[in-house]
Each structure stands twice: as structure tokens, then as C-alpha cells.
Amino acid sequence: MIKNQIKKVAFTWPNGYYNDGIKLGIGVSDKLDFGYLVSEVPANAAGTYTTNQFQAAPTKLTKTMINQDHQLQAVVMNSAIANSCTGAQGEADAHEEQQLVTDKLQLDPSLVGVASTGLIGAFLPMDKIKQGIAQLSPHHGDNVTRAVMTTDKQPKHACVQLEMAGKKVTITGFAKGSGMIHPKMATMLGFVTTDAAVDGDFLQQMLSQNVDTTFNQITVDGDTSTNDMVVVMANGKADTPELTSVDDADYEAFNTGLHTVLGELAKQIAADGEGATKLVECNVSGALNEMEGQEVAKAIVGSNLVKAAVFGQDPNWGRIIATVGNTTAHVDTEHVAIMVNDVPMVADSVAVPFDEQAASQKMGADKVVIDVDLHAGDATGQAWGCDLTYNYVKINASYHT
């Protein structure tokens, strides 16, 4: 019932937000590479961040700002250079970016976050950054969604609308990510905005729970970067009652909308994996518990052997069942079932007859869905990845040069 109240709509910003994205020449490409996202008023905020031990300077700074009182009003962001593993200079540069935006917008520094993505180990060209911040101006298009792209083939965004207390609420998100994607919060950045009013601590709780079943369930190459960050801002401009707990009347609707946006962005990242030609979705049923269902699903979409088989349209279910067996999940090893794009291939852990040529043709679709039943319980799991192609190696063999 609640899902029917959530409408996916064309990209539009919620009330009270503006952005900009410009070409600053931070890297060697001619893409937009610098921008900002701003709320007209201070917004309650939440964030999740990379678990990589080498956490980039902008990621650490934004985490500190949000953790102070779960508020944020602006985020300045760039692609091409990650400002990671840059020592004291990198931290000073991130703080200088924050101060420049603070001065430009006349905000408290605690309300300004910083995000960077790109090459690890390089320093930001601060002379260009200063010029760029001076050039930024309020717009309502989608330039900022393109300013964070690195090897992404296209911008990634999602938007839903719903009613809360009889008023229209919009939840809009955008993300970047194509390689180094294996979140436990990858060079992956995600930003979600809403005009709903949500308590900051409660927003943090909702974000953390939803990230576990969306962004943390995608993988492109098994590598987690130093700059991962997902930030949600709720500025209350829709003039709805503030959500503070799961008992609030509109909690379920808002939470479903948030999950929808995060899930759509996660799938877009997986589908746009470096060199990828197919989105791979794995649905696990019959798991002992949700944690084990998620573990198995992510292991399957992350297996290089499975990914290569998907690229080659090879219906080699042995790659899948072997991956299941390599996890720590409970499995009824006598009764596992496997299906690929609706073609049953395994029942009771042994092959069933199927037309291999027809199955191979079906694996040529843009999306390959792998269904696995562990027969160990009633829980489920879901994850997304992509195929492993020759082009992935080509892209990453020359990323630096």
C-alpha cells in the first residue's frame, strides 16, 4: 500500500535547494569538475562514510561537521582529484575550501561540507579552487550531478514524490561511482535532498539502515576507496511535521521513499561499472537470516568468475554454486536451487535439463538476474553488480597515466 504512494518522477529538486557545476580544469579532461549543492536554510543532515582506514581529508571533515549536531547547509565538491593521502596539506586545503564557501554564502563553517573524488595522492590546485568558488552561482538544473563524474558514463540521479500530512514532499538524490566500488561505504559519492522535516539523529538512523540494504549491497570490483560518502539533507521547506520516530504517521512512507532513491542510485552505479555491459542482480531466498542472505547475494555478484561468465553469456551455474559454498552462510547443500534470467538450471543441488543456447541468448540482455534458494530458512537477500569485461582492465591499466 505504501509503495503505491511513492511516485518516481523526472529529476527535480525539492523546495529550497540550488546547485551549480562548472568546468574548472582540475584534471586533464574537459568535463564539468567542480560544483556545490546548497539549501536555502540549514538542513538536518546525516551521513555514512568509507570504512577504508585511509579516509580522505574531505570525507573526515564532512563527517566531523555532520556529527557535531547533524546539520548542514552546503557541500562543495570536485572530481579528478580525491585529496586523499595528502597529509597535513590535504587537510588544510579541505578546510580552506570550507572557509571559502563559508565566506561566499555567509554561513557558519559547521554548516559546510566538502567532498572530493578522483586520483589518490594528488593535491588540489587551490588557485583554481578559489577561482571556482567565486564563479559558482545559484542554478536549478542538474550541473552538480555531472561535476562529480570521473569514469562514469552518465550522471546518476533518482527522484520520488509522496504526500506527508497532506503536503507534497520530494526526495531527490544523485551519485557518482563506476570503479573502486565495494562499499562498506569506493570512489562513490551520494547526495540526497528532501524538503521534508526530519530530526537529525532519526535521519541518521534511517540512512544507516537503508544504506545497508542498498549501497552496501553493490560491488563492481571488490575495492573500497578512501572517499566514500553518502549525505542526506532535510531542510523542512515542505512545511510538514518533523519526523522523530518510527511511530510517526508518515514514517513508513518517507522511509520507503528514501529507500527507493538510495536503491535506484545503487543500481545505477552497479550498472555503470567501469567497462560494464550488463547489470547483474542476485536475489537470494531461503536464507537462515537476512545477514546471511545479503552475504550470499553480494558474494555472487562480486565473484570474478561469475562476472566473467555473465560477460561471456556462459550459463555456467557451477560458478554460482561454488561461490555460495565459499561463504559462511548456512546452506542445505542437498537442496539448493539456481535460476538465471528465469531459466531453471539447478534443483536439489544438481543440474536440471535446459537449453544452453537459449539460456546464453537470454544472458545477452542488459540485465542478468540470478535467483538462488538456499533452503536454509525464510530470509532473503539482494545485491547488484556488473559483468567483468576486457574494457575494465583497459580503463584501470591507464587510470593514472
What is the reported pLDDT for 393?
73
Considering the domain architecture, whether residues 212 and 295 belong to the same structural domain is answered as no
380 labelled ligand-binding: no
Same domain, yes or no: 267 and 283: no
Question: Are 302 and 159 members of one domain?
Answer: no
Q: Report whether 51 belongs to an annotated binding site.
A: no
How does DSSP assign 234-247, residue by residue?
E--TT-PPPB-STT
Instruction: Give the per-residue pLDDT at 184.
Output: 45
Average pLDDT, the chain: 91
Q: 87-101, 350-364, 366-380, 382-396 — which is least confidently predicted?
A: 382-396
187 known ligand binder: yes
Is 117 annotated as contributing to ligand binding? Answer: no
201-228, pLDDT tens digit by residue? 999 999 999 998 888 887 654 455 678 8
Backbone φ, ψ for residue 350 (5° rounding): -130, 160
> Which one of 145, 187, 214, 260 is the catalytic residue?
187
130's enclosing H/E stretch is: helix 126-135
Look at strands 34-49 and 71-78 and give their pairing. antiparallel
From 14-18, 44-48, 392-396, the region with the lowest mean pLDDT: 392-396
pLDDT at 289 over 90: yes
Boundary (domain end) residue, out of 211, 239, 271:
271
Q: What is the rounded CA–CA span in Å between residue 5 and residue 168?
A: 11
Of 271, 293, 310, the one marking the end of a domain is 271
* Domain of residue 143, residue span: 3-271
> CB-based burial of residue 353 (10 Å sphere; 0-12 exposed, 13-18 middle, 19+ buried)?
exposed
Same domain? 62 vs 90: yes
b/e code 186-202 from CB counts within 10 Å (16+ = b): bbbbbbbbbbbbbbbeb
Residues 229 and 334 in one domain: no
Catalytic residue status for 187: yes
* pLDDT score, position 265: 93
Among 209, 261, 227, residue whose Cα is nearest residue 13: 261
> According to the model, what pLDDT value does residue 220 have?
54
Pairing of strands 156-164, 343-347: unpaired
Residue 369 pLDDT > 90? yes
Q: In the numeric block, which cell numbers belong to residue 114?
A: 566538502
CB atoms within 10 A of CB 368: 24
Q: Are residues 359 and 300 in the same domain?
A: yes
Query: Is 216 annotated as belonging to a binding site?
Result: no
* Domain boundary, last residue among 271, 288, 320: 271
Percentage, residues of the chain above pLDDT 70: 93
**Spatial separation of the C-alpha atoms in residues 66 and 202, rounded to whole Å:** 13
Strand ranges, E, within 59-134:
71-78, 112-116
Asked if residue 24 has pLDDT above 80, the reply is yes
226 plus 97 within the same structural domain = yes
Give the least confident one: 52-66, 127-141, 176-190, 262-276: 176-190
pLDDT band at 396 (very low <50, low <70, confident <90, very high): low
* pLDDT > 90 fraction of the chain, expressed in percent and rounded: 76
Residues 263 and 325 grouped into a single domain = no
**Residues 283 and 361 both lie in one domain:** yes
Of the candidates 147, 220, 217, the one whose C-alpha atom is nearest the C-alpha of residue 189 is: 147
Residues 226, 330, single domain; the answer is no
**Nine-digit cell at 221?**
570490483
286 and 309: one domain?
yes
Total number of domains in the chain: 2
CATH number, domain of 247, equals: 3.60.70.12
Residues facing residue 167 across a β-bridge: 164
Shared domain check, 290 and 193: no
